[in-house]
Amino acid sequence: MAQRFGGKFSPGGDGKTPAPTQKGAFQGARRTRAGGRVNLLFLAPLPLAIAAFTSGPTGLVLNLAALGTLLLAAWLTREGLIAQEAFEARKVARRPAFPRKIAGSLLTGLGLGIAGYAASGDLFAPAAYAVVGTVLHFLAFGPDPLRDKGAEGIDTFQTDRVARAIDEAEKHLAAMTDAMLRAGDRQLMARLERFQTTARDLFRTVENDPRDLTAARKYLSVYLLGARDATVKFTEIWTRNRDPQARADYEALLTDLEQNFAARTQKLLLDDRSDLTVEIEVLRERLDREGVHLKE
């Protein structure tokens, strides 16, 4: 979608000093690793389809089996990289339930072994292909996260509750994005993305300390659900008649939500610091009672 750029002295400009740039949805974003090399894994085995239909029945079965195995390995590798990126993006995270990249390495070796056997009928060469393929895939993409991160001393039941609540909140944000796409307005989409960035700051704060879930539950469920419904309704009105009053009301709603979410995030951070201060004071009192004095 085309976007018009202008400034203070551009034609039609209002001559006012532009507002400070606000952080957008791409703040802290990094290039995904689930592309490039992974896409080649989907393309590399495609010649096996040609080989399958230019050989006998046995070659047909073996080549198609190798093709399916290698494509499955590529898909598992991509999903494993996506899961690893989500794992690394969070300070507190549980390891993936299924090691997709390791499974992708094993299936890559198996697929190469089947393809080698279909081509030669020998056993030594396909076995060598399988071992080398497994090792190279593992070295190229690495293992899956095998240990939980930052979960020492944290109740797993609480972290599971937080994960479910945030997954539901992310669904609300995704629904808002889908609805706004129908409006076809780049400025409104950018405004919505700024609010979503603020909302995700709250998500990360709750993830870092699952005890904050109770204080933030209304924001993750009730308020986001209302924001989703308001976005859907606004999109319906905006696509029909481009009502400027409806747009102004919706932008005011996003501003109010953004301010409230940011305030709640700061409140949770202050509460965390207060808890730390209390724990330090309690420790000091215990040390004083035992005759141990800390130097200031």
pLDDT in tens, 170-190: 899 999 999 999 888 889 999
Encode pLDDT of 24-38 as tens digits. Answer: 555 555 667 677 788
Return the pLDDT at 11. 54
98, 133 contact by CB (below 8 A): no
- Residue 204, number of CB atoms within 10 A of its CB: 14
Enumerate residues 6+ apart whose C-beta is below 8 A from 71.
42, 45
pLDDT digit string (tens) for the chain, length 296 residues: 445 555 555 555 555 544 444 555 555 556 676 777 888 999 999 999 999 998 889 999 999 999 999 999 999 999 999 988 888 877 667 788 899 999 999 999 999 999 999 988 888 999 999 999 999 999 999 999 988 776 666 667 777 788 888 889 989 999 999 999 988 888 999 999 999 999 988 888 888 777 778 888 889 888 999 999 999 999 999 988 888 899 999 999 999 999 999 998 888 877 656 655 656 666 666 666 666 555 55
Choose among 128, 104, 108, 71: nearest CA to 120. Answer: 128
Cα 89–92–98 angle (5° rounding)? 80
Structure-block tokens of residue 72: 């499955």
> pTM of this prediction?
0.62
Look-up: residue for tokens 């004071």?
A: 281
d(CA 193, CA 190): 5
CB burial readout 42-62, b (16+ within 10 A) else e? eeebeebeebbeeeeeebeeb
d(CA 65, CA 71): 10
Structure-block tokens of residue 91: 């300070």
Q: H helices within 90-185, ranges in order?
A: 100-120, 124-141, 156-183
d(CA 69, CA 84): 22
Return the pLDDT at 43. 93
| Amino acid making up residue 148 | D
